[in-house]
Amino acid sequence: MSEQELKLHVPAAARPAIERELKKQRDVSQVRLHALYFDTADRELARARIALRLRQEGRDWIQTLKAPGADAITRKEVNHARPGPVLDLSVYAGTEFEAALSQIKGELTLRYETDVLRTLRKIRTRQGVVELAYDIGMLRAGALELPISEVEFELVSGQVAALFTLGRTWLQRHSLVLDARSKSERGDALATLAHLLAPADPAPLPEADARARAIAQFWAPRGADGITLKPEMTPGQALSAVTAECLDQIIRNTAVMAEVDTLGVYDAGKAEHVHQLRVGVRRLRSAWRLFEGLATLPPEALQEDIKAHFSAFGANRDQDVQDETIAPVLREAGMPDFAMPGSPPAEDARTLAQGKAFQGWLLEMLEWSLTPQPPYTPHLVPTATEPLKAATSAVTSLEVAGDDDDAAAPGQHVGELAAMLAGAAGTGSSPGEAMVVPIIIPLHPATPAHSLQSRLVDRLRRWHKKVVSDGKHFATLAIDDKHALRKRAKRLRYGLSFTESLLPASRLKAYRKQLAQVQDVLGEFNDLAVAHERYEAAATAHPEAWFAVGWIAARQAALVERAEHAFRELSKTPTFWK
């Protein structure tokens, strides 16, 4: 069987209000849950993405195996009642998990455990029945502990939309935080950390700096992961796969910045988390551009809202670069010390990450990514006032679009156009009444005229030509145009990373390396441009800042030469489409 659940972290400040709300309900129950999770010393089950546990639920013992499902909120789950704390692997003989379990070489032992008080309530909505589980407790591995404070919405029956309807309500009411990690994922990571920090008898404890590095690694930023697209995928399926990976990167970095695990204990959210969050957003927006005209994109409101959030996090990123990169280099070069004027960002990164606005956007975007989208079709619905003229225009537009590589394949919308023309001829609509244009999706949709690979590669080819063309004249571009070129180069690099599983690896290595060099030069130039503006503004009150202005200008001049060289080399590098 499988389960679908949405999990939100409950900050300490929100707990009293949630507990008061649940106490008011009559249909609430509580149960103590003590779970024991098993794995080998080499984490063979975790590496196979399997969680295996025994859990005492009141007086009962339940053995559970969990594995990833089809998407971010779905898990495969198999439960067996047990007479006591006895782990019985024989119950998986003949199941889909037998092969993975039979390959285990090490001995299964207790790796970590959870102890929580769960408050349960079933909620009926128009969209379905959802079980709410509010968990407060502790996760333990060796001598280490992490708090558990979360609310899970599990779909009992009905539509997945019911999870998100309740999730939105509770998120906004109680300032909850989206968390992509399961208890088993957190437990496995904690057990690994506990092993690293524990002395191996009779060896001494790890040095302080080694311990600090291990602890920091536990909350390390989540970088971009590879994405595997398959040639038989539709553009919509490919966009879904890309979106899932980008959102996971954003959500995980956001959770650390929002102090899901660390409030009052450890300052985990660093500048690199802000950077990786913004990388995830850039990748997502690049995917929208890559699939524009090929697949159905998120609603315009979701695309617009992220711009404001991205800009707000960007102000924090600029401040981090200033403090941690630019200023130390300038001081080493001989700049006199002075108090840099200027106000901090309107909101710090932690406040932004925890905020209802950004968390609400994440939840809306996650719901969209999990909702099956209709195949992309151009907007061809005619107006009610001039239906025949509009429909005829649509036919003409489609014929012209057939020459556009990004347009729908010719003939793809013939059935839809026929319905439009029939309606335009006056079949059943009263004067002044809005015309209904039904859309029928065939049982077996026609195979696209162009493969996913060819359509994506063709778009990347055009992006490449534009980047190279502008890059050859980098020195003469205005600052805004240089910045725009940098964004196009990033978009090309991210687009290539999404598509590379469809391309011969032998053609990618040299091109990817040279494109990375272009991006590195442009990134440094952009950071210096932002710093140049800041120091120039400060120079009136602090003459010491003129040192920075001159040093940055000299460095930028050198980078201009490096950039043009990098673009020339990119233009000569064998491309991935030849």
| Cα radius of gyration rounded to whole Å, the chain | 28
For residues 436 and 423, what is the distance between their CA atoms, to the nearest angstrom? 8
Range of the domain at 252: 235-370
263 and 340 part of one domain: yes
Q: End of a domain among 370, 388, 417? A: 370
Q: What are the b/e assignments for 362-386, b being 16+ CB within 10 Å?
A: bbbbbbbbbeeeeebeeebbbeeee
Whether 226 is in a domain gets the answer: no
Whether 384 is in a domain gets the answer: yes
Q: End of a domain among 351, 370, 389? A: 370
Q: 419 with 439: CB under 8 angstroms?
A: yes
For residues 427 and 423, what is the distance between their CA atoms, to the nearest angstrom? 5
262 and 209 part of one domain: no
Task: Please count the structural domains in the chain.
Answer: 4
Whether 24 is in a domain gets the answer: yes
CA 151 to chain centre: 21
242 and 360 part of one domain: yes
363 and 246 part of one domain: yes
What pLDDT, on the 0 to 100 scale, is given for residue 270? 86
What pLDDT, on the 0 to 100 scale, is given for residue 406? 39
CA 557 to chain centre: 36
**8-state DSSP, 500:** G
341 and 388 part of one domain: no
312 and 428 part of one domain: no
Per-block mean pLDDT, blocks of 10 residues, the chain (578 long): 94 95 92 98 96 96 96 95 96 95 95 97 95 97 94 96 96 96 95 86 68 88 94 94 97 94 81 94 97 95 94 90 90 87 80 95 96 73 43 39 38 42 46 63 62 93 95 92 94 95 88 94 93 90 91 94 94 84
Whether 392 is in a domain gets the answer: yes
How long a stretch of residues is the chain?
Answer: 578
Whether 447 is in a domain gets the answer: no
What pLDDT, on the 0 to 100 scale, is given for residue 427? 45
Q: 227 with 497: CB under 8 angstroms?
A: yes
Whether 443 is in a domain gets the answer: no
What pLDDT, on the 0 to 100 scale, is given for residue 110? 97
475's tokens: 């020195």
Nearest to 13 by CA among 252, 259, 349, 345: 259
402 and 469 part of one domain: no
419 and 474 part of one domain: no
112's tokens: 């970590």
Residue 474: half-sphere exposure toward Cβ, Cα within 13 Å: 26
Beta strands in 159-243 (DSSP E): 177-178
Whether 445 is in a domain gets the answer: no
Whether 156 is in a domain gets the answer: yes
What pLDDT, on the 0 to 100 scale, is given for residue 461? 94
Q: What are the b/e assignments for 311-328, b being 16+ CB within 10 Å?
A: ebbebbbbbbbbeeebbe
What pLDDT, on the 0 to 100 scale, is given for residue 201? 57
Say what the alpha-carbon torsion angle 300, 303, 304, 305 is, to the nearest 10 degrees.
120
Beta-bridged to residue 145, according to DSSP, are 140
490 and 551 part of one domain: yes
For residues 206 and 209, what is the distance between their CA atoms, to the nearest angstrom? 8
130 and 211 part of one domain: yes
DSSP 2-34: EEEEEEEE--GGGHHHHHHHHHT-SSEEEEEEE
Whole-prediction pTM value?
Answer: 0.85
Q: Is the peptide bond before 378 cis (omega within 30 degrees of 0)?
A: no
